[in-house]
Copies of this chain bind each other. A is one copy, B any other.
C-alpha cells in the first residue's frame, strides 16, 4: 500500500442505529480501540500525575465505547444464519468485549492489550465484510 493511501479520504463509512437504519461498520469499534492504544502509549511516556489521571478516565470511556459498538454488531447486525456459518462468532465477540473491559483495556494501561483488542476487532471485521459480500 502506498503511503499516500494511508492518508487518503475514507469517505465511505457505515453506521448503526436501532431503527434499524441498516448501516453498520466495525470501524466504530476500531476507532475507539485505536484511541485506547494511543492513550496507553501517551500514558507510558508521561509521568505527570494529572495527565495520568486524565488518561485513565478517558481510556475508561473509550473502552466502554468499544464494548458498546461491538455489542451492537453482535445483537443488531448478526443474525442466526451468520452464527451458524461462523460458529466461533459468539465466543469471538465475548472475548473481544472482555478484552475491552476490566480484565483488559479498562483494567490495564498496556499497549499490548490494546493491540490484542485491535486484533480481535479485525477478526470480527473480516467476518462482517464477508457476510456483506455474501
A residues near B, CB below 8 A?
A: 4, 6-23, 25-28, 30-32, 34-35, 38-39, 42, 49-58, 60-62, 64, 67, 71, 74-76, 78, 83, 90-91, 94, 97-98, 101-102, 106-109, 121-122, 125-126, 128-129, 132-133
| Chain A at the B interface: SS class | helix
Stoichiometry, as copies per complex, reads 6
CB distance from A43 to the nearest CB of B (A): 9
Residue of B nearest to A71 (CB): B71
- Central interface residue in A10, A39, A67, by most chain B CB within 10 Å: A10
Given contacts A10-B26, A20-B102, A54-B60, 8 further A-B contacts (CB under 8 A): A14-B34, A16-B35, A17-B35, A17-B58, A22-B38, A57-B57, A67-B71, A83-B94
User: Across the interface, do B25 and A28 meet the contact criterion of CB distance under 8 Å?
Assistant: no
Residue of B nearest to A16 (CB): B35
- Bound CA–CA A83/B98 (angstroms): 14
Residue of B nearest to A94 (CB): B75
- Bound CA–CA A74/B97 (angstroms): 10
> With a CB–CB cut-off of 8 A, which chain B residues contact A132?
7
User: Across the interface, do B126 and A9 meet the contact criterion of CB distance under 8 Å?
Assistant: yes
6 contacts across the A-B interface (CB closer than 8 A): A7-B132, A21-B38, A23-B34, A54-B107, A56-B57, A75-B97
